[in-house]
Amino acid sequence: MEFKEMQSIWGAQNSAAAYNFDEEELHRRILARKNRALSIANISELMIIGVYVGAGVFIWVVKMYLLAGWLFLVALVLVISRIRRLIAARRFDRSVQGELQHALATAKYQVRLSRLMRWNIVPIGVLSVLAIGQGGKPLWAMALVLLFFAASYYGAGFENKKYVRQRESLEALQRSLNG
Amino acid sequence: MTEKEQEHIFKSWLGGHKGLFFKIVRAYALTPMDMDDLFQEIAIQVWRSVPSFRQACSVPTWIYRIAINTALTWTRKEKRHRQTEGIEEGALLLREEGEASDERLDWLYAAIHQMDTVDRPITLLLLEGFSYKEIAAIMGITETNVGVKINRIKKRLTAKTEKKDYHGI
């Protein structure tokens, strides 16, 4: 069986389409998606920034200046990363390679962001425990807070691994495309 | 571009090239729900791409480019993350037409389904009659690389038919 014959079998589909579609239903779905302008990833990114700024303001008010300063600094790093990511997104073309490079850049960004967020738990945890200690709270309260931050750090490791796996599968796809 | 203009262009693309949409959907999805989901996703991405179309290539080439990228992204996503919301039972977008299916075509689609993520779009473009240069542009790889891959794909497909791993070809 020659490839040319396969091409003619393939071409025969053009004369008789095997499927049709409901135009009204498609229009309804497009409108539904259009109204959801921001993607979930975008919203969660903005929410994290908002939470850091909000928490920073709150902690500033209760005069824990060092911790508040740290939260503002992290929020600033997040804003800069976000701007850099959005600017970088414009330089990819619409070829498969271009879209793949874009997806890979986004995956690398997510890996970096989740790693940053994970390591960020350490200084926040330490500063929080110190603040509790200075406030004269009992030892068990400090231990409880420390345990909470340790659990958060452990849980954040799973999230990071998920993004690393995504990045690795995209890298494998790129190797296969260029190989 | 106004929204009305965008919609008008999108409708004319969809009407004029619907066979192209169906072929990609059938090459990537197996179940009716998945086919419906992928068709919706491709249609939405093509609709979004209308304002950025600069006529540097033909409309079918543009649609193929968007559709293949969408299908690749869709394939990468885990099933539970796919956009099935808004799809109510019995409200499927796609419906099969009455024509009896060609066994040889079914075999060809089955063979395409078995291909890896990179070979599949190249095979589709090749079957569609795109030149090496056009395939290279759509895929974003060199013509030499396209040539090597096509050579391998053709050999594999022909070998499959020689092994009588087919129905009716």
Find tokens 């926040």 and name the residue: A124
A23 vs B86 pLDDT, higher one: A23
Evaluate if pTM is beyond 0.80.
Answer: no
Residues of B in contact with A29 (CB under 8 A): 40, 44, 86, 93
Query: Residue A34 pLDDT > 90, yes or no?
Result: no
Query: Residue A155 pLDDT > 50, yes or no?
Result: yes
Question: pLDDT tens for residues B20-29?
Answer: 888 999 999 9
Q: What is the pLDDT of residue A110?
A: 86
Query: Residue B81 pLDDT > 60, yes or no?
Result: no
Query: Residue A78 pLDDT > 50, yes or no?
Result: yes
- Going from the C-alpha of B69 to that of each of A81, A158, B10, B138, the distances in angstroms are 26, 29, 18, 9
Taking the CA of residue A177 and the nearest CA in chain B, the distance in Å comes to 6
Q: What is the pLDDT of residue B95?
A: 73
State residue B58 phi and psi, 5-degree precision.
-75, 165
Percent of chain A past pLDDT 90, that is, above it, reads 19
A102 vs B100 pLDDT, higher one: A102
Asked if the Cβ–Cβ distance from B116 to A2 is below 8 Å, we say no
Taking the CA of residue A58 and the nearest CA in chain B, the distance in Å comes to 36
**Quick check: B84 contacting A, CB < 8 Å?**
no
For testing the chain B interface, which of A4, A5, A6 should be mutated: the one with the most B CBs within 10 Å? A6
Most confident of A15-19, B47-51, B78-82: B47-51
**Quick check: B46 contacting A, CB < 8 Å?**
no
Asked if the Cβ–Cβ distance from B95 to A21 is below 8 Å, we say yes
Query: Residue B161 pLDDT > 90, yes or no?
Result: no
Q: A–B: how many Cβ contacts below 8 A?
A: 128
Residues of A in contact with B86 (CB under 8 A): 29, 32
Q: What is the pLDDT of residue A19?
A: 72
What is the rounded average pLDDT of the residues B109-126?
A: 92
Through-space distance between the first and last CA atoms of chain B, rounded to whole angstroms: 48
Residues of B in contact with A103 (CB under 8 A): 73, 76
**Quick check: A21 contacting B, CB < 8 Å?**
yes
Taking the CA of residue A14 and the nearest CA in chain B, the distance in Å comes to 6
DSSP string, B87-99: --TT--SEEE-SP
- The residues near B118 (Cβ < 8 Å, ≥ 6 apart) are A173, A176, A177, B149
Contact call for residues A1 and B158 (beta carbons, < 8 A): yes
- From B52, B99, B129, residue closest to A18, measured CB to CB: B99
A145 vs B96 pLDDT, higher one: A145
Percent of chain B past pLDDT 70, that is, above it, reads 84
What is the rounded average pLDDT of the residues A17-40?
A: 69
Query: Residue A176 pLDDT > 80, yes or no?
Result: yes
Query: Residue B86 pLDDT > 90, yes or no?
Result: no
E strands present in A2-153: 19-21
Taking the CA of residue B169 and the nearest CA in chain A, the distance in Å comes to 7
- The residues near A153 (Cβ < 8 Å, ≥ 6 apart) are A118, A121, A122, A125
State residue B9 phi and psi, 5-degree precision.
-60, -45
Domain boundaries, chain B: 1-99, 101-169
CB-side neighbour CA atoms (13 Å) of A119: 6
CATH of domain B1-99: 1.10.1740.10
Q: What is the pLDDT of residue B127?
A: 93
**Quick check: B139 contacting A, CB < 8 Å?**
yes
What is the rounded average pLDDT of the residues B52-71?
A: 89
Cα separation, B57 vs B139, in Å, equals: 14
Q: Which residues pair with B95 in a beta bridge?
A: A20
**Which chain B residue has the Cα nearest residue A176?**
B118
Query: Residue B6 pLDDT > 70, yes or no?
Result: yes
In which band, very low, low, confident or very high, does the pLDDT at A38 lie, cut at 50, 70 and 90?
Answer: very low
Query: Residue B143 pLDDT > 60, yes or no?
Result: yes
Most confident of A40-49, A83-92, B66-75: B66-75
Query: Residue B35 pLDDT > 70, yes or no?
Result: yes
What is the rounded average pLDDT of the residues B102-124?
A: 90
Q: What is the pLDDT of residue B63?
A: 92
Asked if the Cβ–Cβ distance from B93 to A173 is below 8 Å, we say no
B101-169 carries CATH number 1.10.10.10: yes
Q: What is the pLDDT of residue B104?
A: 86
Residues of B in contact with A20 (CB under 8 A): 18, 94-95, 97
Q: What is the pLDDT of residue B42?
A: 92
Query: Residue A37 pLDDT > 50, yes or no?
Result: no
